[in-house]
Amino acid sequence: MFRRLSAILGLTGLLAAAPTGALYVTTLPSGADVWIDGTYTGHSPLVLDALAAGRHTVSLTKTGWVPQNLDVSIVAGSTALSSVEMQRAAGRLRTELGSIAIRGMTVKSMQIDGLPLAPDKDGFYGVRAGLHEIVAMTTAGKVTRTVTVYPEMRTDVVLRDDDTQAPAVVAPATDYIPATAIRIDADRIAIKFGGHDVQGHLGSTSYRVDGKAIDFDSAPTLIGTKLYLPLALLTRIAPDKSQ
C-alpha cells in the first residue's frame, strides 16, 4: 500500500521554504527497498512528498533481483512517476524455491496450479515461490485453497473436515463498512475500520487482521467495482452489522 513520507531526510524547516514536489515509485515485483539520495524510505509502491525540486537518485534493492539506481527529476508542485521492472539476479533459482506441507487431513492426490504433483520423501510439495492454487483430494473430498509460498520456507496448510462441506460465504464489503475505509491498489486490499487493520490480496484466502495471519474461506473478489469479502471477516470487524 502507498506510504506517504513528509519532510524526508529530516529537513522539514528547509523544505517548507523551498519549492517541492512528489515522487511515486512502483516496481515489478513490488516490495523493493527504496532509497532516495542514500536515505532509506520504505518498500515500493510508495509516494514521497516534500522533495526538493531538482534531481535525485533513487536506489532499488530486493533479494534475488538486480539492484538499480535511477536519476529522477522533481518539478515543484507536481508528482513524478518512477515505474521500474526489476531483473532477476543470476544464480538465484534455487533460493526462489519453497515448499507446501499439508496438515490435518490425509491427502490422496494433489494438484498445484492445475498440474498433479507428488510429495517428496519428507512429504512436502516443492514449488516456486509465489501465489499458488492447490486442489487436494482428501478422505473427505476435494479442498481448494490459495496459498503464498516464500523462498526457502515451508508453508503449512491446515485442512479441516468442514472444509469440504459448506461453500464459501461472501458479502459486499460496503454493506458492512464504509467505502472510505477500503483501499484497493492493484491486487492489494487494505481496510481500516473500527480500530481494525486488515490486509489482503485478490486471489488469496490469507489475510492479516490486526497484525495476525488468518485464513478465511474465500479470497477478496471484485465483481465489477464492488468488493466482496468473507462474511466471517466482515462480521469480525463490523459486529454491529451482523445483529
Domains of the chain: which residue ranges? 4-85, 94-164, 170-242
Report strand pairing: 54-62 vs 33-36: antiparallel
Predicted confidence at residue 228, as pLDDT, reads 86
Say how far apart CA 76 and CA 67 lie, in whole Å. 28
Question: 198 and 211 in contact (C-beta within 8 Å)?
Answer: no
CATH class of 4-85: mainly beta
| Topology adopted by domain 94-164 | Immunoglobulin-like (2.60.40)
- Determine the pLDDT at residue 241: 56
pLDDT at site 243: 45
Residue 87, phi then psi, degrees to nearest 5? -105, 140
Whole-angstrom distance, CA of residue 144 vs CA of residue 177: 28
Model pLDDT, residue 91: 57
Q: With H, G, I as helix, E, B as strand and everything else as coil, classify residue 127.
A: strand
CA 201 to chain centre: 5
Q: Is 94-164's fold the same as 170-242's?
A: no
Taking the C-alpha atoms of residue 36 and residue 121, their distance in angstroms, rounded to an integer, is: 47
Q: In the CATH scheme, what architecture does the domain 170-242 have?
A: 2-Layer Sandwich (3.30)
pLDDT of residue 90: 65
Judged on CB neighbours under 10 Å (0-12, 13-18, 19+), 139 is: exposed
Of 9, 95, 2, nearest to 56 by C-alpha is 9
Tens of pLDDT, residue by residue, the chain (243 residues): 444 454 444 444 444 457 888 899 888 888 888 888 878 888 888 888 888 899 888 888 887 778 888 888 999 888 888 888 888 776 544 457 788 888 888 889 998 877 888 998 888 898 887 777 788 888 878 888 777 777 777 887 877 766 554 445 678 889 899 999 999 988 889 999 989 999 998 878 889 999 888 888 778 887 777 888 888 888 888 876 544
**Predicted local distance difference test score (pLDDT) of residue 212:** 85
